[in-house]
Amino acid sequence: MGGPRRFVASLLSAHPDEIIFTSGGTEGNNLAITGVIASYKLQATSYKIKIPHIITTNIEHSSVLEVCRYLEKTKQARVTYVPVGANGIVDPKEIKKALKKETILVSVMYANNEIGTIQPIREIAKAIRNFRKSNVKGQMSKVAFPLFHIDACQAAQYLDLHVDRLGVDLMTINSGKMYGPKGVGALYVKRSTPIAPILMGGGQEHGLRSGTEAVPQICAFAKAFEIARGMSDSESKRLSALRDFLIGRLQKDFPRATINGDLGARLPNNVNVSFPDFDSELLVIELDAAGIALSSKSACEHDNPDESYVLRAIGATKKGEKTGSLRISMGRSTTKKDLTLLVSALQKIFKKYETVSKLGGSTSK
């Protein structure tokens, strides 16, 4: 296990003992958040603050938001959900304002899985570092709170993952998001970071993740990670050009369409677009019939099958309104021809339902 662990660590500019292999992004996020809270509780007599405070944003992955809600419900922590702006990006100043002496953890997604927006991680890390300096009194001297966790599952293929440059204490990555096998991932845990296990038993993974390691998956994950990082610059450049081409076509051919999320600070492989007065599910079904596979939101959203909480958070959808939203994800096999076919298919769909509407039909499903 030393080989894959050392290799993954090298890609993050981390130490091998700072890598904990997990079953994927969901477990990594759960371990990061619940593990820090559990460790804090175990040392409760050493701290003056009995109920810790967590800061996150309102567009995080469900594996972060659901954990935070559970911790609130069970009175294990208080949570502040900092809202992002209409562009899908959180203002570091708002994170700074939310910091308090009770804050032990800040968890912010590096890049959003639905609208592709990239958060200003370094600026947030700087605000946290400055706050730590003024918040040392009354805490255990060997632990500097708040800790900083980022969910980097969507970012791992394209963005900087150097943990020291990012200024993070914990970072989640997922094999399945980089063409590796599903069911495996890793959590970076900076040395001396207080964290307790959420799975117990044989003491594997430095005691933080008991259970026999899935060695074949871990080895394949390490190889997929190597390939992804090796292609990162070239793929980012290629996909950014395709992304911008698609956005340009959508804006030109569909003047009422809205591109969701910041146009600049976004992943190279993501375009999220809304078409007013049209049903999202109907669009997905029609495109599927045309041989184009897209989604209307994250596959991880099950709480409300009809709405995206991320789009609600940025004001792109309103209750009771139809907004035909599409999440368009591109990858290594995506070509300009594919995107041209997508635009053509959309034109045909809207023309079809414009005719239906004139005949007294509806674009609702």
* pLDDT, tens digit (0-9, with 9 covering 90-100), for 31-64: 999 999 999 988 866 666 789 999 999 999 999 9
- Whole-angstrom distance, CA of residue 17 vs CA of residue 236: 30
Domain limits, CATH 3.40.640.10, in the chain: 2-226
Tokens of 246: 């698609």
**How much is the pLDDT for 39?**
94
Domain over 232-358 is classified CATH 3.40.50.360 = no
* pLDDT, tens digit (0-9, with 9 covering 90-100), for 289-346: 999 999 886 655 555 555 789 999 999 887 656 678 999 999 999 999 999 999 999 9
Which CATH number fits the domain 2-226, given the four candidates 3.40.640.10, 3.40.50.880, 3.40.47.10, 3.30.930.10? 3.40.640.10
pLDDT at 139 over 80: no
Q: What is the pTM of this model?
A: 0.92
Three-state SS at 276: strand
Do 105 and 147 touch, CB atoms closer than 8 A?
Answer: yes
- Whole-angstrom distance, CA of residue 86 vs CA of residue 96: 19
Looking at the DSSP bridge assignments, the partners of residue 107 are 149
By annotation, the residues acting in catalysis are 300
pLDDT at 23 over 80: yes
Domain limits, CATH 3.90.1150.10, in the chain: 232-358
